[in-house]
Structure 1
Amino acid sequence: MNTVDTKQIEKKSSPILSLGFSPCPNDTFIFDALVHGRVECGYAFKERLEDVETLNRMALSATLDVSKVSYHLLGHILGDYLLLRSGGALGRGCGPLLVAREKLDAASLAGKRIALPGRYTTAALLLRLFNPSLSDFVYLPFDKIMAAVADGSVAAGVIIHESRFTYQGHGLQKILDLGQWWEEETGHPIPLGGIAARRDLGRETLLALEQAIAASVERAFKYPAEARPYIRAHSQEMSDEVCDAHIGLYVNDFSRGLGSEGEAAVRLLLGRAEAAGIIPPLREPLLI
């Protein structure tokens, strides 16, 4: 007589939620345990790995149940989504960099063409907050920006992700650290990307997701070798050293949970974006 594995039956019958995040090492590190069933929340997940601006645009049409999004984009989607407290990228010393071929004065960029990694990225928001007079932007995939700056297609570019570790190898110079500017301007850490979940999933599901993502982060910290194959599968062009540096920069205690400090930073960023007319008025609750 065959023995029935009730845990397998429960797993197979779990409702499936769509989950979007980037193939960058920080996201695959965070979500590995969740998508592979090493933490439980009563749901299975169909993951969608895309660059952050693709995820932002998918969230604008409410395509995914749960998704990593830029904090800039969050201000545009609060009618459909709210922010989960776990799983995001927020910290100090990790902001976008403005780079150029030659040493430029950041204050003299007016009239120059600047490449940005997407209209709705936090990188784009920070540059607009830094200098509202700038307007000549070209939007490129984040991994195409360094080449565009290096070949003179644009005067400067804002780089994110692993480009922070490799731009000097492309003959580029740092003009401005937008994260450092934000920290000095406000005293707060910089909110880069957070996890948005559809409001219509309901409070019980949203709380379960928030807790499960936090547990996935904890497991990744406790057993980092478990996540390594998943990370490597989606970062084949990066060395282990760059992967580790990437994770070390973007995954921290704020990824476990925003806490009061993280929440204050998010509210300040969105408040400044609203005051500048960059995002619509904030009328919906931000968090569960």
Structure 2
Amino acid sequence: MNIAFSPCPNDTFVFHAWVHGLIPGAPELNVTYADIDITNTLATKRNGPEVMKISYAALPWVLSEYALLPCGGALGRGCGPLVLTKGRSADNSDPSLISGKTVAVPSERSTAYLLFRLWAAKNVPGGVGQIVVMPFHEIMPAVRDGLVDAGLVIHEARFTYPTYGLTMLTDLGNWWEADTGLPIPLGAIIAKRSLPLDDLARWTRASVEYAWANPDASRDYVMAHAQELSHDVAKQHIDLYVNSYTTNLGESGYAAVFSLLDRASEEGLVPQIDLAALKP
């Protein structure tokens, strides 16, 4: 079975057991490690992988072919994307600092970018200027080097951005949680609708539970794909993004996804969908 997910620590931690044949009855996996911008695009292709990790924001474009699995993804609290700028000003949290400015983002169909657009529409006077898409690990160096005015970052950048001399303009996760009271829906696991979805969910959940029960088993695999992160940062990353929502979206998880896509549809940012179709 073909699967695509990112090389980030949370994904490799979640799927380690399945990838290494440790889940009884689960099929062998052929893994493609790819940045979220790539998987969001792969999901729209006719011959895309059977299972993959994409942004929740990309779901409206793929639901005719793929179903959302209720586990394996990334939702949570205190784990949202950040908007970063270089240096300091009199008010580092003033949204007008990026009015008309160039902002780097990890994907135009990422949840991070969707949250950013919803936030900017309400908070950035006159709106931002040019949007530049680049791999997320290139964004902080680009802000540091003055290639862009601001950057939208995800994942372990939450822990490492001060080392680049950058300042947080806003935490979009905090904004979302304050505005909705819901967790932040970031990454979804989807599967072709022609597959045995209940089995896929069971195998995915078993892989997560194995990872929790054997936290050292995946260490070498995680670090081999961690893009030069330290073990401590990789562990922080896993602890933040692998949580109870990873084993079961639950009512609040589905409510978060419904709210995000419904708001985005009302703003004309994503196609309108039948939100009930997200839930099995």
Same fold (TM over 0.5): yes
Residue number in structure 1 paired with 2:78: 93
Deviation at 1:52, TM superposition (A): 1.0
Deviations 1:95-121 (A, max 9, x none): 000000134411442211111011111
Distance in 1 between residues matched to 2:147 and 2:74, nearest whole Å: 30
Q: Secondary structure at the match of 1:44?
A: coil
Residue 177 of structure 1 pairs with residue 171 of structure 2: yes
Residue 72 of structure 1 pairs with residue 63 of structure 2: no
Distance in 2 between residues matched to 1:225 and 1:257, nearest whole Å: 23
Q: Rate the CA distance shift 1:276–1:53 in 2: closer, same or farther, 3 A.
A: same
Q: Secondary structure at the match of 1:191?
A: strand
Residue number in structure 1 paired with 2:144: 150
Distance in 2 between residues matched to 1:50 and 1:137, nearest whole Å: 22
Deviations 1:19-64 (A, max 9, x none): 1111011000000011111113442211111111111111121411
Residue 239 of structure 1 pairs with residue 233 of structure 2: no
Question: Aligned AA for 1:40?
Answer: P
| 8 A contact 2:5–2:31 mirrored in 1 | yes
Question: Aligned AA for 2:68?
Answer: L
| 8 A contact 1:183–1:190 mirrored in 2 | yes
Question: Aligned AA for 2:161?
Answer: Y
Distance in 2 between residues matched to 1:135 and 1:271, nearest whole Å: 25
Residue 30 of structure 1 pairs with residue 11 of structure 2: no
Q: Secondary structure at the match of 2:132?
A: strand
Moved over 6 A (4+): none
| 8 A contact 1:41–1:209 mirrored in 2 | no
Residue number in structure 1 paired with 2:40: 56
Distance in 2 between residues matched to 1:41 and 1:74, nearest whole Å: 28
Residue number in structure 1 paired with 2:124: none
Q: Secondary structure at the match of 2:152?
A: strand
TM alignment of 1:84-123, pairs within 5 A: 84-103=69-88, 104=92, 105-123=94-112
Residue number in structure 2 paired with 1:82: 67
Deviations 1:168-220 (A, max 9, x none): 0000000000000000010001000010111122xxx1110011101110110
Distance in 2 between residues matched to 1:220 and 1:206, nearest whole Å: 21
Structure 2: gaps (5+ residues): 122-126
| 8 A contact 1:128–1:134 mirrored in 2 | no
Distance in 1 between residues matched to 2:167 and 2:227, nearest whole Å: 26
Distance in 1 between residues matched to 2:178 and 2:26, nearest whole Å: 42
Residue 268 of structure 1 pairs with residue 262 of structure 2: no
Distance in 1 between residues matched to 2:109 and 2:162, nearest whole Å: 26
Residue 124 of structure 1 pairs with residue 116 of structure 2: no
1:136 to 130, 140, 154: 130
Deviates more, 1:175-184 or 1:56-65: 56-65
Q: Secondary structure at the match of 1:118?
A: coil
Structure 1: gaps (5+ residues): 1-16
Deviations 1:217-266 (A, max 9, x none): 01100001111121121115111101101101110000011011111111
Distance in 1 between residues matched to 2:85 and 2:27, nearest whole Å: 46
- TM, length-normalised to structure 1: 0.90
Distance in 1 between residues matched to 2:165 and 2:223, nearest whole Å: 27
TM alignment of 1:202-217, pairs within 5 A: 205-217=196-208
